[in-house]
Amino acid sequence: MTDSEDAFLFLDEAMTLPAPVVDAQAPWVILVVDDDRSVHSITQLVLGDLRFQDRRVEILSAYSGHDAAAILRGRDDVALILLDVVMETDDSGLRLVRQVREEIGNHAVRIILRTGEPGQAPERQVILDFDINDYKAKADLTARQLFTATVAALRGYADLRALEEARAALLQEQAELERRVIARTAELAAAHRVLEDDLKAAATLQQAIQPAGFPAHPHLDGAAVMRPARVIGGDFYDIALLDADRVALLIADVSGKGAQAALFAVLARTLLQAAMAANSDPAEILAATNQALVARNPLNLFVTVLLVVIDTRRGMLSFCSAGHGAPLIRRADGSTCRVAARPSLLLGLFEAAPYTSHTLHLAPGDAVVLTTDGIEEAEDSSGEPFGQDRICATLAGAANDAGRMLDALMCAADAFRSGAPLDDDATCIVARWPG
């Protein structure tokens, strides 16, 4: 611009409009709202050749607030409004500001208020009360000032549009992420349902391979139960008739929980049954099982086992422990204690581990009790374990019947936990020798 640009703009002079410029990029749209046609001509003369950020300007004209509102309702690409205050009414421009911001909801367009009667709309109050971006008196507005105010307004509009586009992109990305999360959640839910069905089927099979009940025997009264901490567990038990007089009681606890432990439990139980079919000595049975497990244990799991063999004709009890607690003996008079015997090594990890059998005599009415640590280590709300002393006290106070002793022990452990879920599988066998 030249020094002549500082001349006041809004004079009653004839103006010649420049020829329109063809531009491939979308132009900056400026809406001039004024009832004085010369204002439109002068604005076109000053801003018609303006280029900002490699985009030309397109100037639209409206001669009343009503016409301007119609234009603004029909298009949302207006970047700047050069707005007169007094037109068809003394406050037409101010009314249009409220329409644009509140009714039309356009908060991006920049608004420069231009008035030839400043006293009609005092600048300080207008700036405070209306959402406009600048206030200019026509009598004081030069070409340079109009150019500067326009570029500043266009830059502000561009920044707002960039923010809006970034926000829209973020919202779109968020919506896409939410869609993916919903889809993935649905996939996981479906997979979880399949897994639940598989686990329920596995639990049914696991219960099916446990003994259906303590086998009837004329010289032995027994009861047994296994409660998994999860749908399927790593505890298992078995009761086998070795011959007409001898009964084998087996209780075991596999390392870990869940499907991995349950599968290893099936393997261990199968190998133990095979060993019991070939031997009757507890130590020999566990030694043979250990060698077979070590050869089939890629995950380095292990199992603790307590194997008891009762000679029901003579009342002779022999047992071997592979890393498991020794059996409890509940005498006919109710006194209960755990047999003092050092356990041998657990099964599955050490190929040449030695195993030792122990023997003792039962008196008529005595019972042998086998448990896994899910009972002894059951905790109350304070974290205190149920413990061996409570097990012995519960058995001592129960009726001298295998089923009642088992029920009393499991109910006492449940009450001690106050209904909290099991932290570990809980398994128990009670066998009473009547003599």
Tell me if 332 is assigned to some domain: yes
104 and 216 fall within a common domain: no
Q: What is the DSSP string of 360-377?
A: EEPPTT-EEEEE-HHHHT
Q: Are residues 224 and 125 in the same domain?
A: no
DSSP SS3 for 31: strand
Write out the residue range of the structural domain in which residue 116 sits.
Answer: 3-170
Strand partners, 236: 252
The pLDDT value recorded for residue 426 is 87
- Give the per-residue pLDDT at 19: 43
| Residues 135 and 219 placed together within one structural domain of the fold | no
Q: What is the pLDDT of residue 260?
A: 78
Is 10 among the domain residues?
yes
Check whether residue 10 and residue 81 sit in a common domain: yes
SS3 358: strand
In a shared domain, residues 17 and 149: yes
C-alpha–C-alpha distance, residues 159 and 68, integer Å: 24
Q: Which of 155, 118, 165, 105 is nearest to 133 (CA)?
A: 155
- The alpha carbon torsion through 358, 408, 233, 252 (nearest 10 deg) reads 0
223 and 137, same structural domain?
no
pLDDT tens per residue, range 54-78: 999 999 999 999 999 999 999 999 9
Average pLDDT over residues 328-349: 93
CA distance 62 to 261: 82
Same domain, 295 and 397: yes
Determine, yes or no, domain membership for 188.
Answer: no
Instruction: Specify the pLDDT at position 2.
Output: 47
Residues 310 and 166 in one domain: no
Beta bridge partners of 230: none
Q: Could you give the angle at which helices 143-209 and 37-47 cross, rounded to 10 degrees?
A: 80
Within a domain: residue 254? Answer: yes
Is residue 186 situated within a structural domain? no
Average pLDDT of every residue of the chain: 88
pLDDT in tens, 248-260: 999 999 887 667 7
Domain CATH code at residue 90? 3.40.50.2300
Query: Using CA atoms, how far apart are residues 432 and 225, in angstroms rounded to an integer?
Result: 15
Amino acid occupying residue 81: I
What is the model's pLDDT at position 206? Answer: 64
In terms of domains, do 221 and 105 share one? no
Q: What CATH number corresponds to the domain at position 414?
A: 3.60.40.10
CA distance 214 to 274: 20
Residue 241: pLDDT above 60? Answer: yes
Domain limit, last residue, from 111, 139, 170: 170
The count of structural domains within the chain is 2
Give pLDDT, residue 12: 40
Shared domain check, 339 and 245? yes
For the full predicted model, state whether its pTM sits above 0.75.
no
CB proximity list for 289: less than 8 A, separation 6 or greater: 268, 271, 272, 275, 305, 347
| Higher-pLDDT residue of 366, 139 | 366
Q: Is 158 in the same domain as 281? A: no
Quick one: pLDDT at residue 235? 82
Q: Given 170, 196, 225, which residue is the final one in a domain?
A: 170
Indicate whether 160 and 276 sit together in one domain.
no
Residue 433 has pLDDT above 60, yes or no: yes
Helices (H) and strands (E) in the chain, counts: 10, 16
How would residue 119 be classed by pLDDT, with cut points 50, 70 and 90?
A: low
SS3 (DSSP) at 81: strand
197 domain residue, yes or no: no
Contact criterion met (CB below 8 Å) for 229 and 427: no
Q: Above 90 in pLDDT, residue 360?
A: yes
Domain boundary among 150, 170, 190: 170
Q: Residue 193: inside a domain, yes or no? A: no
Average the pLDDT over 369-384 and give the result: 90
The whole-angstrom separation of Cα 20 and Cα 17 is: 9
User: CA geometry: angle at 207 spanning 206 and 210, to 5°?
Assistant: 95
Tell me what pLDDT residue 230 has: 67
Secondary structure letter of residue 283 according to DSSP: H
Is the pLDDT confidence value at 294 over 70? yes
Does some domain include residue 91?
yes
